[in-house]
Amino acid sequence: MASEETLVLIKPDGVARGLTGQILARIEQKGYELVDIRKLTPSRDVLAQHYAEHEGKPFYEPLVEFMMSGDVVAVRVAGNRVIEGFRSLAGATEPTTAAPGTIRGDLGRDWGLKVQQNLVHGSDSPESAARELALWFD
Ligand code: RTP
Ligand code: MG
């Protein structure tokens, strides 16, 4: 079976807390390949495209502001079933209830802010992965 690719983002909270290395190590320890990596502060335009499905939701504007607040590390990650596998490794959206053993469950918490700061993003389908990888890497 051909290897699959996903987009992982280490969000500004993860970068600012110095967790980039630990998060990348977890991805590698699981057996996935880090194919490409870049660090940048994303523009509103890129984030509007990335989060188009959430436009109009109450957390949309705080989410975009949070994502523009500092550097993000974007990673192209490869491996069989990596889309599903990384989502499993990341854990549930809310760090408070994300299972221990996951990135969000072990390294995250609720900070009482307007948006869940949950350390990482992972594409949720092959269509999202293709769209997001083109957006962040091309
Ligand atoms: P992601 O897209 O970042 O991998 O996370 P996800 O699928 O688990 O979550 P999603 O529903 O796609 O939401 C995107 C991001 O928006 C923030 N969020 N905050 N009520 C809230 O405060 C809230 N809901 C969503 C999170 O940062 C989430 O990852
Ligand atoms: Mg999502």
The per-residue pLDDT for range 58-113, each reduced to its tens digit, is 999 999 999 999 999 999 999 999 999 999 999 999 999 999 999 999 999 999 99
Q: What integer pLDDT is reported at residue 1 of this predicted model?
A: 58
Nearest ligand, measured from the Cα of 88: 1
59 lines ligand 1 (CB under 6 A): yes
**Of the candidates 42, 98, 92, 31, which has an alpha carbon nearest to the alpha carbon of residue 65?**
42
Q: What integer pLDDT is reported at residue 2 of this predicted model?
A: 67
> What ipTM was estimated for this complex?
0.93
- The whole-model pTM stands at 0.97
Q: How far is the CA of 60 from the centre of ligand 2 (A)?
A: 12
Asked if 121 is an active-site residue, the reply is yes
> Phi and psi for 105 in degrees, rounded to 5?
-70, -35
**Of the candidates 8, 12, 18, which has an alpha carbon nearest to the alpha carbon of residue 74?**
8
Q: Whose CA is nearest to atom 9 of ligand 1?
A: 93
What mean pLDDT comes out for the span 114-121?
97
Rounded distance, CA 126 to CA 76, Å? 13
Side chain identity, residue 119: L
Do 117 and 13 form a contact (C-beta atoms < 8 A)? yes
So where are the chain's domains? 4-119+126-137
Nearest ligand, measured from the Cα of 7: 1
Q: Whose CA is nearest to atom 22 of ligand 1?
A: 115
Query: Does residue 115 register a pLDDT over 70?
Result: yes
Q: Whose CA is nearest to atom 26 of ligand 1?
A: 116
Q: What integer pLDDT is reported at residue 87 of this predicted model?
A: 98
Q: Domain 4-119+126-137 falls in which CATH fold? A: Alpha-Beta Plaits (3.30.70)
Mind spelling out the 3-state secondary structure of 93-127? Answer: CCCCCCCECEHHHHHCCCCCCCCCCCCEEECCCHH
**How many other CB atoms are there within 10 angstroms of residue 112's CB atom?**
5
102 annotated to a ligand binding site: no
118 annotated to a ligand binding site: yes
Per-residue model confidence as pLDDT tens digits over 9-52: 999 999 999 999 999 999 999 999 999 999 999 999 999 999 99
Do 77 and 34 form a contact (C-beta atoms < 8 A)? yes
93 lines ligand 1 (CB under 6 A): yes
